[in-house]
Chains A and B, each alone.
Chain A
Amino acid sequence: MKKTAMPRSIITLFAMKWLFFSYFLALLPQFDRLPPWALLTALGIAGWRLLIDLRGLPRPGRGIMLILTLGISAMILLYFHTFFGLLPGSTGLLLLSALKLLELKNRRDFSLVALLSFFLLLTFLLHDQTIPALLYVLCSCTFLVASLLALNNPLTTKKKNPLRRALVLVTTALPLALIFFFFFPRNRGPLFLLPHESHTQYSSGFRDFLRPDQVARLAQSKEIAFRVSFPAGNPPQPEDLYFRGAVLRHTDGLTWTRGAREGRPRELLQPDDSVSLVEQFYSLTKENQNYFFALDYPVQTSRAVRIVNGQVLRKTWSDFTPTNYQVFSQLSGEWPEELFDSERREVLQLPEKIAPEVRQLAQSWREQAGNQSDIMAQALNFFAEQGFRYTTRPGLYSEEDFLSSFLFRKKRGFCEHYAAAFTMLMRLAGLPARVVVGYQGGVYNPVGNYLAVRQSDAHAWTEVWQEGRGWIRIDPTAVVIPERLSIGSEILDYLKSGGEGDFDFMAAWQRALRRGFLRRLLLEINHYIDVINNKWNLWIISFDRREQRRLFRSLGISPKNPFLMALALICAALALIMALSFRFRDRVKVDQAAKAFGVLQKRLENSGLRKISSEGSVTFLEKAARCFPHAAGEIREIKKIHAELRFGRERAGRPAEITRLLRLIKKLQLKKP
């Protein structure tokens, strides 16, 4: 046979409207991520096309398209300085699909725009993996499918909304997608080098540097940073809830950074057998976060992370960033006797320019005090008695005289100010000291039996080296605002009592009734929502190669070659589709009226009236009407509707008639009342 000529493609306005709407849905969640100019440009271009379709505006010529393409490329290059990477790529994709929408001519262009919108949704999921994000994406996927349905069935109109069929298609595809999700072999690490993503874009929460003079107002994000549970049932005291993330050693007087010695696994705390270790299980919420937290001081970890110099955690090389890990911490420990010289030099490092009054203050402590402990006590006293105030809105400090201005004049700040100033004073007084950044505290979730640590719990404190004792944690902020430590105490009562999931809901309920019903109710609901989010993170988001291997092992499969496995999976799916289509090819959809008749026939046969095979349904029902005279009217009515539905002019049954038939059959009384 010769090549079949394709029928002329028709793109109805109806299909175009669906495409516009689903494109808009795909674009909407990008608003907090992609640059606003790009989104506005995309919206503008799409709106232009909408006007072309609705008002019959002239289509842009090739020249205009060329100018637009070049202009958009230039804007991306000017804004990002590159085309590569997730953000420039997503922006390019967004604008490219808008341009394609503008010049959309045939079915192929239509499919391309729809599929690019799918890809846009995918880049959104790369950024946000929460349940609401997934639900939103599924919803807009359904709309995209509906627009494709509207394209391929040009006779679809408002009366026959494609959304219902789209929902059926997506629901049919879901189980197959889930099978692939769990069984498609996963890779160990990135395929190619990831473009560096900036981690400093989060305005609040954990940062691996301090810049106390710059932050005028601390943003208080309630977003959860991580959740930690204590599987062994020995949670620490509230005053021990210091989750260290990074150690900052180097300062230029203002900024504190990690310094050069990061990553060298030397001078680690030796595990002490006499002290019981606190087991912690962490589940992180943000992907691509390269910091991992542990209670002071971690000594053992699961394979995903490792302990580096400064007793902080880093991910093991070349793997994906783990989303959960296990750590054993020793709440007090023995350090090596001696501080290495190189380390000592670094933790005593001082900036060149220091205000004389600050230097004088430290010098006076050194002269007055007999030993190191006295110096520390004096410094803490200084913060406690000189009228320092804790505030999240300290206002701006000038770059030149941050320390003297903070210590002697303004005296207000938050943890970063106190930790930075205290560490500097310690070094001036001759004590090796470093800043530790991480989180402190957290909110206990009784439903999930874990501690939820939020971005607003981000904290900074100081560690001072004391000869003979090692690194000692000193939190100068706690001197200024002792309440900060006690926040977690109430909720930890339960944790301490054993915490094996035997949370008494009724007791909690009664407590809730006593203490302001609505507030407690909301709190309870929030706890439940948070538990669901945690399970989602643990079971779905962190499903990786290791988890998959565990799944395979439990099913008794041990795939040697992941490529073969992937290929086999795809072939199996295709074979399944082929087999199913052969199976379904000859299946006739049973008429609902015929089905209803079958039900009635069974009931009549149970009452002793057999249908002879030569009898038609009409004859049989007439016979039944004569046999059951008290129900003759109803049976004849059924006979009439059934005949009309099955053999009448409009055989494709009208729903109202079928409902009536079913109701009549259901209500039919064969036995005399």
Chain B
Amino acid sequence: MNRNGRTRPSVSALILLLVLLAALAGAMNYGNNMAFFLTFLLFSLGLVDLFLARLALTGLSCQEIACQPVFAPGTSEFTLNLIELKGRQRNAVFLAAHLDEPEFSGPWTIPASGRISLSAAKNGLPRGRHSLPGIILLTFSPLGFFTRTRFLPMKREFYVYPAPAGNQPWPPSKGGLKEHGLERLGGEDFTGFKRYRPGEPQQHIDWKGVAKGRPPLVKLFSGGGDRELWFSWQDTAQKNPEERLSQLSKWIVEADRNETGFGLELPELKVAAAAGVTHTHHCLALLAAADTRHWK
């Protein structure tokens, strides 16, 4: 598809053509000037429609697309802004993400020199690193004799993480390096309080104490002590590589939920133990993009 779009005649255009031929034949046969005139008027309306179809999607630009990663059978949603630049209101614009089989949402009206926020969704994508080359805009010409489609390029990548699945317990923690500065909050044994600093997870705040009027304090637990948690490809018991990835994904999700730091070990790479949202997403993205064909 070329950059500025493509105009295709619709079925109505075929009907228009047949009606025009019949009308022309009638006008010629009866030598009737008013019939000639009406035929030509209809033809000109078709031409004007073609002209408007060709202008229907120019001067639109796409901005600021956001796509949250999802777990495998989930729905990927893209949010984007369509901006009108030419001072013409655009009517009945349909939109689809440029994927295998575009599903159009709409119709939308884009105000002159205005913008609209739209979201497109795609569900049932397999685990992996996907790329969204752009979005497709589609609109009917004002009289419906033509459809105009236009592709807005984007080159945006998004991830579909492996579905968290599997029922293996966490692998045992390995003796590790405390000097990594890893803040350990996990464990079972209550050891005491420390003062809450803004930015710390609020999970362990002693809310009962706060209710009694004391300053917010964080309960400290110990257990596992100075040992590190490593999730390794080798530790997963499943045969199927996808199932193994799912098991890893599940462990990571659980660790993230418990705010436990962890490291990831895959056949070709190793991610040092850490905690936090960025780390979790980094690890999940690695799983999503993993090429397991040569892994054992």
Task: Check if A174 sits within 8 Å of B144, measured CB to CB.
Answer: no
Please give the distance in Å from B13's CB to the nearest CB on chain A.
Answer: 9
Task: Check if B38 sits within 8 Å of A154, measured CB to CB.
Answer: no
Q: Which single member of B4, B38, B92 contacts A118 (CB below 8 Å)?
A: B38
Nearest B residue to A118 by beta-carbon distance?
Answer: B42
Task: Check if A153 sits within 8 Å of B44, measured CB to CB.
Answer: no
Contacts of A287 in B (CB 8 A): 30, 32
List B1-46 residues whose CB lies under 8 Å from chain A.
1, 4, 10-12, 15-16, 19, 22-23, 25-45
Q: Which single member of B51, B103, B111 contacts A577 (CB below 8 Å)?
A: B51
Query: Contacts A148-B142, A577-B47 given: A174-B41 contact, CB under 8 Å?
Result: yes
Please give the distance in Å from B127's CB to the nearest CB on chain A.
Answer: 23
Task: Check if B107 sits within 8 Å of A591, measured CB to CB.
Answer: no
Contacts of B118 in A (CB 8 A): none
- Pairs across A and B, CB under 8 Å, 7 listed: A6-B138, A111-B12, A122-B27, A122-B38, A125-B32, A191-B28, A652-B113
Which stretch, B83-91, B200-208, B258-266, B279-287, touches the partner chain A? B83-91
List A114-133 residues whose CB lies under 8 Å from chain B.
115-116, 118-119, 121-123, 125-126, 129, 133
Contacts of A178 in B (CB 8 A): 40
Is A7 on the interface with B (CB-CB < 8 A)? Answer: yes
Nearest B residue to A154 by beta-carbon distance?
Answer: B107
Query: Contacts A119-B19, A121-B38, A125-B32 given: A588-B59 contact, CB under 8 Å?
Result: yes
Task: Give Cα A629–Cα B36 distance, bound, in whole angstroms.
Answer: 65
Task: Give Cα A103–Cα B214 distance, bound, in whole angstroms.
Answer: 76
Task: Check if B12 sits within 8 Å of A108, measured CB to CB.
Answer: yes
The tally of residues in A whose CB lies under 8 Å from a CB in B reads 81
Task: Check if A184 sits within 8 Å of B36, measured CB to CB.
Answer: yes
Task: Check if B35 sits within 8 Å of A125, measured CB to CB.
Answer: yes
Which stretch, A74-82, A372-380, A538-546, touches the partner chain B? A538-546
Please give the distance in Å from A28's CB to the nearest CB on chain B.
Answer: 16
Task: Check if B4 sits within 8 Å of A125, measured CB to CB.
Answer: no
Task: Give Cα A573–Cα B151 distance, bound, in whole angstroms.
Answer: 27
Task: Give Cα A580–Cα B45 distance, bound, in whole angstroms.
Answer: 15
Task: Check if A581 sits within 8 Å of B51, measured CB to CB.
Answer: yes
Task: Check if A126 sits within 8 Å of B40, measured CB to CB.
Answer: no
B residues apposed to A, CB below 8 Å = 1, 4, 10-12, 15-16, 19, 22-23, 25-45, 47-51, 54-55, 58-59, 85-89, 91-92, 94, 100-104, 106-107, 109, 111-114, 136, 138, 140-145, 147, 149, 151
Task: Check if B47 sits within 8 Å of A118, measured CB to CB.
Answer: no
Task: Check if B30 sits within 8 Å of A126, measured CB to CB.
Answer: yes
Task: Give Cα A308–Cα B241 distance, bound, in whole angstroms.
Answer: 101
Interface string of A633-655 (1 = CB under 8 A from B): 00000000000000000011000
Task: Give Cα A15–Cα B106 distance, bound, in whole angstroms.
Answer: 17
Residue with the greatest number of chain A CB neighbours at <10 A, chosen from B31, B138, B149: B31
Query: Contacts A5-B103, A122-B35, A588-B59 given: A148-B144 contact, CB under 8 Å?
Result: yes
Task: Check if B22 sits within 8 Å of A119, measured CB to CB.
Answer: yes
Task: Give Cα A580–Cα B58 distance, bound, in whole angstroms.
Answer: 14
Which stretch, A165-173, A254-262, A430-438, A605-613, touches the partner chain B? A165-173
Q: Which single member of B48, B101, B114 contacts A5 (CB below 8 Å)?
A: B101
A residues apposed to B, CB below 8 Å = 1-2, 4-8, 10, 107-108, 110-112, 115-116, 118-119, 121-123, 125-126, 129, 133-134, 137-138, 141, 145, 148-149, 151-156, 165, 169-170, 172-174, 176-178, 180-181, 184, 186-187, 189-192, 194, 287-288, 320-321, 540-544, 573-574, 577-578, 580-581, 584-591, 651-652
Task: Check if A134 sits within 8 Å of B34, measured CB to CB.
Answer: yes
Task: Check if A2 sits within 8 Å of B138, measured CB to CB.
Answer: no
Q: Which single member of B34, B37, B85, B92 contacts A153 (CB below 8 Å)?
A: B92
Residue with the greatest number of chain A CB neighbours at <10 A, chosen from B49, B103, B140: B140
Task: Give Cα A279–Cα B51 distance, bound, in whole angstroms.
Answer: 51
Task: Check if A126 sits within 8 Å of B35, measured CB to CB.
Answer: yes
Task: Give Cα A484–Cα B85 distance, bound, in whole angstroms.
Answer: 76
Task: Check if B112 sits within 8 Å of A173, measured CB to CB.
Answer: no
Task: Give Cα A174–Cα B104 distance, bound, in whole angstroms.
Answer: 35
Nearest A residue to B23 by beta-carbon distance?
Answer: A122
Q: Which single member of B37, B49, B112 contacts A589 (CB below 8 Å)?
A: B112
Task: Give Cα A4–Cα B99 distance, bound, in whole angstroms.
Answer: 10
Task: Check if A191 sits within 8 Å of B19, measured CB to CB.
Answer: no
Task: Check if B33 sits within 8 Å of A173, measured CB to CB.
Answer: no
Please give the distance in Å from A493's CB to the nearest CB on chain B.
Answer: 36
Nearest B residue to A7 by beta-carbon distance?
Answer: B104
Task: Check if A585 sits within 8 Å of B44, measured CB to CB.
Answer: no
Contacts of B1 in A (CB 8 A): 1
Please give the distance in Å from B18's CB to the nearest CB on chain A.
Answer: 8
Contacts of A110 in B (CB 8 A): 144
Task: Give Cα A320–Cα B113 distance, bound, in whole angstroms.
Answer: 55
Contacts of A192 in B (CB 8 A): 29
Please give the distance in Å from B38's CB to the nearest CB on chain A.
Answer: 5
Task: Check if A170 sits within 8 Å of B45, measured CB to CB.
Answer: yes
Task: Give Cα A153–Cα B39 distance, bound, in whole angstroms.
Answer: 25
